[in-house]
Amino acid sequence: MIDAQERVAAKRGLRTTGEPIPSLYRGRRRANGDTVVTVNDAPLKHYVVHSPTGFEWGYGGSGPSDLALAILVHHLKVKPLGPRPGFRWSGDGWDRVFTLHQDFKWQFVARWPQEKDWVLWSDDIDDWMKATP
């Protein structure tokens, strides 16, 4: 059972130890084939960079690229600005996300089976980033 101190810390996004609470990313496919992607049970924002039709996973296309990008934008707390003319986004941290997102796509998003639900913890992203030069 979570005590009152833990509950207050959780509202601030921290554990009582001061460590951040990991985010949980989830993807599922509805019966009609549409994808639903959430972070901590809220919809994950789609930044249209590669795919005008939304998120996908299980292969290396534009939908998985935008999913990888959106996960990293959220995880790294980037505040995107734009899109600028020519559909280029900007913002503090955007260049880093854009540099990492294709590798992240191939290491995670492209490997998730298309027909199955998936989950990803922010701790897994942290581990991947520590191992990525």
Residue with tokens 């996960």: 71
Rounded to two decimals, what is the model's pTM? 0.80
Over residues 91-95, the mean pLDDT reads 72
CB 27 within 8 A of CB 35: yes
Question: What pLDDT, on the 0 to 100 scale, is given for residue 93?
Answer: 73
Peptide bond into 83 cis (omega under 30): yes
* pLDDT tens for each residue of 2-47: 455 555 555 555 555 666 778 999 999 999 989 999 999 999 999 8
Question: What pLDDT, on the 0 to 100 scale, is given for residue 98?
Answer: 87
Give the angle subtended at the CA of 44 by the CAs of 43 and 45, to the nearest 5°. 110
Question: What pLDDT, on the 0 to 100 scale, is given for residue 89?
Answer: 60
Question: What pLDDT, on the 0 to 100 scale, is given for residue 4?
Answer: 53
CB 23 within 8 A of CB 49: no
First-to-last alpha carbon distance for the chain, in angstroms, is 40
CB 55 within 8 A of CB 65: no
